[in-house]
Structure 1
Amino acid sequence: MKANFKFSNLCGTVYRQGNIVFSSDGNTVFSPVGNRVSAFDLVNNKSFTFPFENRKNIAMIALSPDSNVLISVDEDGRALLTNVRRGVILHHHNFKKPVKDIKFSPDGKYIAITHDSHIQVWNTPNHLIREFAPFVLHRTYTGHHDEVMSIEWSPDSKCFLTTSRDMTARLFTLDPVEGFRPKTFAGHRDMVINAYFSSDGKTIYTVSRDGAVFTWKTKAQDTDTDEEAEDEPIASTSADASRIANEIAHTRWGVHKRNYFNQPNTRVVCSAFHRPSNLLIIGFSNGVFGLWEMPAFSNIHTLSISQEKISSVAINQSGEWLAFGARKLGQLLVWEWQSESYVLKQQGHYFDMNALSYAPDGQNVATGGDDGKVKVWNTTSGFCFVTFSEHSAAVSAVDFAKQGQVLFSASLDGTVRAFDLIRYRNFRTFTSPTPVQFSCLAVDPSGEVVAAGSADSFEVFLWSVQTGKLLDVLAGHEGPISSLAFSPTGNQLASGSWDKSVRVWNVFGRSHAVEPFQMSSDVLAVAFRPDGKELAASTLDGQILFFDITLGKQTSVIEGRRDISGGRKADDRMAATNNASGKSFNSLTYSADGQCLLAGGSSKYVVIYDVRDGVMVKKFQISQNLSLDGTEEFLDSRRVAEAGNIDLIDQRGDESDLEDRIDYTLPGVGRGDLSKRQYKQEARTKCVRFSPTGRAWAAASTEGLLIYSVDDTLTFDPFDLDIDLTPQSLLSVLASREYLKALVMAYRLNERPLIHKVYESIPRDDIRLMARQLPTVYLSQMLRVIAEHLDKSPHLEFDLLWVTALLNAHGRHLRDRSGDYASVFRVLQKGLMDAELAISRLCDENSSTLSYLIDQSKVKQQGSLVDIDMQDAQ
């Protein structure tokens, strides 16, 4: 149980770079998030992130027409071919050059990729058969004089269009056609972004970056003055000219019409085309997108959705939903253009995520970031449902009140704010007598008192939540306050500081005299055990020290320096094992039962310790992404040049576009080093927290909000197993209607499908008797199974009867051991609250529908009465 946590989801980041792709049914959007891929289910309002990781940030993704296979390519051209339904990697492949575009053919048999100025077409590997060399090159196509930017297949998969920086588009056939030479579509004055076929294959549209759209059609046979694609001999009609491929190949293409968007001071960044409805979607560099109906070029819709340029655009198969990604803002939007409404609007933190806190029921997670925003995420759906932007500086800490309806946040702008999660408003703002920067926060278990520590005045401030008045100022520390924690009993407040001490204050007593615990180094984090009898503190030298609060003495210490170490930065001159920087924990949290301690710091690792034995249970690596600094272990001489590490040399001056070459640094800041530096984000963990249910933990990292949970479906953990206990014997006992025996056997086998089968087979009338006879050793598992069943099953009344019967039969036992069952109670509470919300929402909808039907029936009755009166009058 302690080490069974697996990567579950990535919240807090919805889009980084690359292209967005819709599934074949149009209900799911796939978005690249760093070196991972996230899927957003727009119908069920859920999101999940695939567990696989690319070596570096993903540049392009492509989905097969049947949505079974996903291929993701990173910035270096290394690709992963994955099974979408299972979320597992099938094959690795290296294309050896950066890929600008990758597309599956409409029949799914081929994959076309850009390869600098060439195009490669590969046979699609079979995802049902294990092959030794799955990627087979079909052909390489040449002809462009500069980098190829996009590929577009014809509807019949026999031809494809490519566009390039050389301001041309070219038409290729998949297989050689007699007498055919690749056609060139020239005439644009800037780079061609995309080219598209119409649904019948008789029209081609090319879109250039300067805002021009050219419509190409069959060139008239009697005119030689029109501008044509290329003066080439036209092959005689062959026997298979009736096929669309040959029609496209043997057409003499010419410019039929030139259209311009006329958007001043902007450029076209991305585009998409919906063949059945002839809709052209264009994303501009100023955050505006527009819809044009082709070939008439009539503007249907224009809307500004962002202040920054739109990086990617996609349209689903039905043509109803448009998906947009803005790279600089990390924003993902899905827009229904006919009703002019948002289907999805999500945005992560603009800068780093600093802090997180779980709600008491484990259902929501609040995060605070350097952008001054506080966001609340639903752990089930993975979506952010409210954003508070009242802070004017970075948010340093967030914490929920124990009732879960109030959220507190501390910021470097000198305020502590309280947010109402029912009305979604900031109802209290706490400030200090003199302006200070708040670096940490703690909330009293009763929710009546909030404390915040300052980084510049070295004091701890306490306020009353009810009145908003300052209650007390605790002085005594001689350095910035790094961490605060209230005891679960509510009587004591622990504060850790850079003055190498931890102080435990009796905040509600008359005397504030306190004896500090002295450390050997600066204190970075403190945490109370859930029973309030033990305090853990981490220091700058990598130690975790444990103190007995009642006895006032140190009980044990964990040397975590070697456990947290790992990962070298790009400019380090030594390997990770010899590097002394960043080897400390800056965040601690106890598990719900108090047996484990989770610790994270400025490293790519998060570590779980067993508190009683003082040993490391497991080490989790938060990211394998080589685009982040601090993920490599060894020195790599291949990445070192005369001017230093190649990854840190600023190559902006080598870009081909003027806006990419402009240096926005202030004059006078250059030092004369000709090898200008660029900086990569560092892989580190700012904050870690265990879920109150004990089934998951979250980390606020460079990648976003990582959630790891216990996956029961993958673990086989039998309990009290003997040789006669088999699934066959269990089914035979169940068939003989011995339900209690079958239930106990199922729990001893501990296989979820068998447990659910026995549980659902028990008659409703036997529930009370079964609950009374159930041994208490299986009580925790039983309650947890019911909680899971509540979430996935429609049998709500059956589950509620079981919960009531178990609580009535074993209430005294549960009350006496409430600490042992705390995590189970929270899981059960979460399931019951979810069910309550779903039913209340359904009731509201039904009541509205019923009231409408009643009103309509009254109107109909009145109409019929009027008709009767008119007949009587006649």
Structure 2
Amino acid sequence: MENNISYEGPNSGLQIGQNHGHITAQFLQSETSFNQACLRDLRTTSPRDDKDRIEKTNGGLLKDSYCWILDNEQFKEWQDSQSSRLLWIRGDPGKGKTMLLCGVIDELTQSTGDNANISFFFCQATDVRINNATAVLRGLIYSLVEKQPSLLSHVRTRYDPAGKTLFEDINAWNALSNIFTDILRDPNLQNTYLVIDALDECTIDLPFLLDLVIQEISTHSHVKWIVSSRNWPSIEERLDTVTQIAPISLELNETFVSDAVQQFIRHKVHQLAKVKKYKDEIRDFVYHHLLSNSQSTFLWVALVCQDLNKTSRRHVLKKLEEFPPGLDDLYGRMLDQVRKSEDAELCKRILAVMSIVYRPITLDELTATVEIPNGLDDEALLEIIVLCGSFLTLRDDVIVFVHQSAKEFLVEKAHIEVFPEDQEAEHLAIFSQSLLTMFKTLRRNIFDIESFGISTKEFTQPSPNPLAAAKYACVYWVDHLQEGWCGEDTAHSLDERCVDNFLRQKYLHWLESLGILGSLSEGITAMLKLEDLLQKRGKSQALLDRVQDASRFIRYYRKAIESSPLQVYSSGLIFSPTQSITRICYQREKPDWILNSPVVDKSWNSCIHTLEGHSHWTILITWSPDGSQLASASVDKTIRIWDPASGQCASILEGHSDPVTSLIWSPDGSRLASASNDKTIRIWDPAKGQCALTFKGYSGSDDSIAYSIAWSPDGSKLASASDDNTVRIWDPATGQCTSTLKGNSDRVISITWSPDGSQLASSSDDTTLRIWDLVTGQCASSMFEGHSGLAYQIAWSPNGSQLASSLDNNTMRIWSLDTRQCASTLKGHSGPVVSINWSPDGSRLASASFDNTIRIWDSATGQCTSILDRHGNWVRWIAWSPDGSRLASASNDKTIRIWDPVTSQGVLTLKGHSGPVMSITWSPDGSKLASASFDTTLRIWDIVTSQCASSTSEGHSGSVYQIAWSPDGSQLASASDDKTVRIWNPDTGQCASTLKGHSRSVLSIAWSLDGRRLASNDKTIRIWDPNTGQCESILKEHSDSLRSISWSPDGSRLASASDDKTVKIWDLATGQFASVLEGHSDFVMSIAWSPDGSRLASASTDKTIRVWDPITGQCASILEGHSDIVRSIAWSPDGSRLASASNDKTVKIWDPAIGQCASSLDICTVTFLQFDKTKPNHLHTDIGTLKLVSPDPVASSPYPSTLPGIYGVSTA
């Protein structure tokens, strides 16, 4: 924890005494502000404020209505006995459980004073802020630290490094559970009472909450609990396992509850009589009528009195007769009142909508879900809500039900009235109204943001918020369509046309809005649901194609849009495949500063998702057996559980103290096993996000590490391979080792079960493969003829007939288990193969390598059918989904990628060379590819047909190192180990001339811009006339390899850059170097002359650019700012600007006159830069052409003084 300590005033030096008081004050002030910030972020609502609101809403807390419980035997036992720690109050709706708990809280507060903590929480199903288990813990912890501030240290320990996200992200429940447990274990914790009202209204993660309550009840004697709920079997089933429980059933205490209701009626009638000025006979009649009809239900009394409060005194007796006894009958009468109003149809529509929306909605959002008649303003809409007042109420502009039972009545017992057609029709109506609202509301740059690159963290929400009415519609429109289509197959062609029009006209605007709302995950889920709906209907292939393309689009650019929503119009469009339906449809939205789009694929590649979140290398992945979840493990010591459909991280499992070495789901999907360098194996409950069992050590010690673990096919056993040279079989239920398989002389690194579970295969650093008989515990075979080297991983084929091994020599082998012979060797990777995995049907084998690629092989033929190459670092692990439709990979680039192996690009293999290919280059028009090889030949390939158009059967007598097309594409030059340069006719493959004179291998060649001269080097530079084959000059003197050559604009001089850290300038007339430019501290990578030849710029691996005076050889300026190698530089046509590209993934524009960076663009690694000669604000790169905006601070352009951003490249 950092603390800001400052020294102010004249005090300095060693005046410690004088400063001490000031420092202490400053420190305390800082600590106070940190504590306040922590409490502010922890708070969702104040439970104390919730209690006050509930009491006021119910007309105040009446002691006579709850005091009966204080004398209840179960209550007194709970209060007085150490053996009774949980008081469970249960009863039917409306029986007054919440007000009863309010009274108990007051009594406990009064009786304990400052000697105990009273922490409480009131769940409410219709309020998203307080209807989930996470909110309960936040409320309880907030109340505890508010009463006992010293407990805040437990929160601060985790809050300080994480901030507010600790309480809100996917791990909030786990984090808060740990904090809560730490607080309860604090030795300084006072006697504590924890109260949770309405467990049945905790609609999210209630099982987690119940399990935590049950766990903590038995642990802490100084902590007592009170919970209330309806008589739900699911709650009773869990709480019945608690031995220290004191249950109170309100139904079994009917007499006491009835007396309490009588006191409540007396109180409410007294209030009515006072306000409405009832005469005694009216007051008595109201009292007795309520008493005889209430059926001991507080809610019934409260609702009737609420209506009587709006009734004139002279009509009260008649009105009373209209109220039937019983809650359901009362709701029926209230619905009848709605039916008789002039706005009956609108009221019923609103009640219908409120009954089926997925969360409470605001008044603004109501207009997006219900068709409101013209001329109905906000004030009139409020009147309509009041008409529904017996069912609905307005709280902080949010419409909610007065009680959960009111919603249940409408859905279960009044559905014919509220849903005259059916619920499906109402869902479709909401869907249609949602689309209409989004059509009216959504637009490009809806927040009027000034720059495409501004992130959501920098947004300022306009007032009024233009998205206020559309928030609900943006998130839930597909859900309502899905519910509306769930009935029989009916004609929904109109709905399909609406969806099609929306995707054609508003899709990018919708994605922008989702980015602003922080709801991209919900958007991805919506598109996947829509895709599934259309596939099941099978009616409109064109719409399905559009939806599938849109689904790929949102998943591919998720990170970019989440970060900066306006990137959907820049990176989203320009980096999408050229045949993307979304890209083609929205070409009009492409920014006008993108002139020439970068070269991209024609169709989407096979990478469906890139999952990011781990802070270090991702090394392991495994699918759940049903394919609904994906688990990953990282060097960051954590395990993450992902939703592979949406790409959202569902939970993080923490507990290992070292990197995880192996990870695998149990066959039934209920458990996840992990092994770690911390010398433990852990069994996790992934549903709860908790470790269920930890077993440590091997051979009775803690000195061994398990490198690989594997569940038996029936899930009854767990095998481990470890560095103590053994394989061990464990009982995963107890963590006990049941047998040890010995025989290896070095560590065992991989194991796999046979499909029938009778055998186990292992690979070891002793270079053996072993098959173990699990009945005898003996090695059945270790003889695999031809096996040698280290097998990183082994995998049993699904039919049990073959075993695959991945090797450190870049190959894989498939073994026949009948013959122990190698059936095939799979070659193609250029790095060690570290992971292999059979497809579920055994027809394919996937491999992952340190060459950063994944290959898919036909297991029958041994042929590579496709290569997946989007990872930016070593691929560590791969895993097929259970249905074989997806492949997941984990990489050192910290990502997990999910692939569609069906749509993966086939491998285009150009065969013909008999030796390694050293150089390839495209013709200027891109129609041909030239290749050079160690086999001494050149080949010209037709890319369309994949055929060799021509080849050089005779010519070079040594390996060919480099080839280069002439600027007009009419000639091809080659540099060779035979010390010659050759000029070729690419159409015929005939050698036009041979340039001789080099005394060493010729390493590189370069054509002059006019094509009239050719330069080549072998540590010396030779200038050739390619037409005559004559060497015009020889330039010597560099002491190391050459990197770059550049002719001066007038052609009289040549500059050369070298690994000797110098730049030399040569006078071509004399063949002598005119000057040596020294100053770089590392290799010089690139050089470029200014247009007038008065300056020369050089770029280096020392991360700097230097601008030189080529006449004097003096360095005029050093341009610093890049954080990695500078690869390329280019001057603007007028010489006023210099562009540079670096491995740090930026392009910078410099003002060389003052040596300052004028602007910078975060983009990607660019290797080529060139200003357009006719349009000086256009910069050509190898990823496209950028239009640079003039740095005019008063210009009206939305991109002042910056480069236009091509954003999201790193996530594309």
User: Which has the larger share of strand?
Assistant: 1
Instruction: Normalising by structure 1, report the TM-score.
Output: 0.43
Indicate the structure with greater helix content: 2
Which one has the largest radius of gyration?
2
